[in-house]
A = this chain, B = another copy of it.
Amino acid sequence: MNFPWPEPGTPLDQIATPMPVIDEGRLSANIARVQAYCDSHGKNFRPHIKTHKIAAIARQQLEAGAVGLNCQKVTEAEVFADAGFDDILITYNILGAAKLARLKDLNGRVRKLAVVADSEMAVAGLAATFDTDRPMTVLVECDTGAKRCGVQTPQAAVWLAEKILAAPGLRFGGIMTYPSIGGAAEVEAFMVRTMALLAEKGIECPVRSSGGSPDLFAAHLVPSATEHRAGTYVYNDRSLVRAGHCTTDDLAMHVLATVVSRPAPDRAVLDCGSKALTSDLLGFSDHGEIEGFAGARIVSLSEEHAVVDLGGCTVPFAEIGAMVRVVPNHTCVVSNLFDRMVFHRDGIVTRVENVDARGTVW
């Protein structure tokens, strides 16, 4: 298929919609700002590739000073290993013979690979897979309040660390958490207690990894953490403006859309449906913000349509055929919908990158 991906030099107002576009200047500034913050607080920074899934952006992040990458799945890590990245942390329980075999293969060709586990079952699978020839580093995932994965207590973390230490093919790498928003104090308390319990047993805990974009600039409130992981900060989105992480001037991704219908005075329809924005609400009651049209609300999405309620719109809305810019609620999920991503500087296309790890769900 000959999709209408634009050539460098194309003005954005001439490209086919719906299309997410990335502002080069804001992208670079987001990378630099977060790296400088982490540097100033002596934290290692490990960007999560889930937001962009693009090797070229990961290179920009490493050139700025990131220590390595964070992936969520083995297949994602494979893509970045193939692109030459040699320090990857997979923050996911890897289960089952097929995935463990691929993880072992990956460990044979990546300089520094690590994975997490939060259960005896997960550790047992890793223990049966790896050997002393090429051991695997395993961090214990801890639930510090986000109520997703992770051991529930520092005692449980130590118990699992000892299981890892007992396996000849595994190395205990430390602890990792994906905290709840506003959870810095809980993370610090969990880490301090776990480190103390480990120290009582003479166990070193070299890496203490926390993460998340919404609270990124509170990472210094977790002094025990040696590294911070974050993904969304690279593009930012509506949810991160709401969280106070950034301003609208830091939004690097917009979804360009066209008004395809103005069926009624209080209604417009855009061509950015759930196949462009996804239906991630992230706590909002509408599906993104249309720049320049305060009060216009994207009240529903179907695959190819975004229905806009103009009832509260304070200015005359764009006419049929006009292009608008939508700030997505959540940028990571938008990346997963497009095979390629268009970049621009001041509205002129600079490059089109393959979304290298799109579709890697395993």
Copies per complex of this chain: 2
A94 vs B228: C-alpha distance when bound (angstroms): 46
**Binary B-proximity of A314-347 (CB < 8 A = 1, otherwise 0):** 0000011100000000001100111100000000
**Nearest CB on B from A146, distance (A):** 9
Q: How many chain A residues touch the partner (CB < 8 A)?
A: 67
Please state if A119 and B261 are interface contacts (CB–CB under 8 Å).
yes
**Nearest CB on B from A322, distance (A):** 10
Please state if B150 and A263 are interface contacts (CB–CB under 8 Å).
yes
Partner of A303, one of B79, B152, B267, B336: B336
Which residues of the partner chain B approach A320 to less than 8 Å between Cβ atoms?
A: 93, 95, 119, 121-122
Most buried by B among A95, A98, A151, A267: A95
Identify whether the interface residues of A are mostly helix, strand, loop, or mixed.
Answer: loop
Please state if B151 and A263 are interface contacts (CB–CB under 8 Å).
yes
Please state if B305 and A149 are interface contacts (CB–CB under 8 Å).
yes
A61 vs B121: C-alpha distance when bound (angstroms): 45
Which residues of the partner chain B approach A19 to less than 8 Å between Cβ atoms?
A: 361
Binding site for B on A (CB under 8 A): 1, 3-4, 14, 16-19, 50, 72-73, 75, 78-79, 82, 92-93, 95-96, 98-99, 102, 118-119, 121-122, 125, 143, 147-152, 258, 260-264, 267, 269, 274-276, 278-281, 302-305, 307, 319-321, 332-333, 336-339, 359-362
